[in-house]
């Protein structure tokens, strides 16, 4: 039988989490896309654990695992302000997984978010309500 416990997330409300099917949301809390995703999860009563990149960072091993699943290019948010603030010279050097992972470790806000994981498998990247309904219901 799955164990259930309650956890406080980022000083917010307590969310019920079922350990067998719990999801982990990797993101930064002040992102509008993340806020939409978290609102959707709460409205649909989906329990989750929140991992704040800014406070907790992310390991090369985790990024490598995700890259194997979705590709490093998908993880790298080239539409965001963090990418645009990089010099063209630095942008041009991000041509492979190793360089991308080093950059994502250094500048965690460049990782596309939110990334949702269940049992070490990426089940969603970004926020798309239709995909969330499929993956999380």
Two tokens, residue 58: 């992310």
Tokens coding 65: 């695992």
Place of tokens 């992102």: 31
Strands 23-27 and 115-118: antiparallel
Closest CA to 121 of 69, 76, 78, 75: 69
> Which one from 17, 22, 27, 31 is the annotated catalytic residue?
31
31 catalytically annotated: yes
* CB burial readout 83-118, b (16+ within 10 A) else e: beebeeeeeeebeebeebbebbbeebbbbbbbbbbb
Active-site positions read 31
């Amino acid at each position: 039988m799955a164990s259930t416990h309650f956890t406080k997330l980022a000083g917010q409300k307590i969310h019920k989490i079922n350990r067998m099917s719990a999801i982990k949301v990797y993101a930064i809390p002040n992102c509008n896309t993340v806020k939409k995703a978290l609102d959707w999860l709460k409205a649909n009563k989906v329990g989750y654990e929140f991992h704040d990149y800014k406070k907790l960072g992310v390991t090369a091993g985790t990024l490598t695992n995700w890259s194997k699943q979705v590709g490093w290019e998908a993880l790298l948010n080239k539409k965001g302000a963090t990418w645009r603030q990089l010099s063209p010279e630095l942008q041009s050097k991000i041509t492979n997984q190793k360089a991308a992972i080093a950059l994502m470790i250094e500048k965690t806000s460049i990782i596309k978010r939110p990334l949702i994981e269940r049992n070490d498998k990426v089940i969603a990247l970004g926020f798309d309500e239709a995909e969330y309904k499929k993956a999380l219901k």
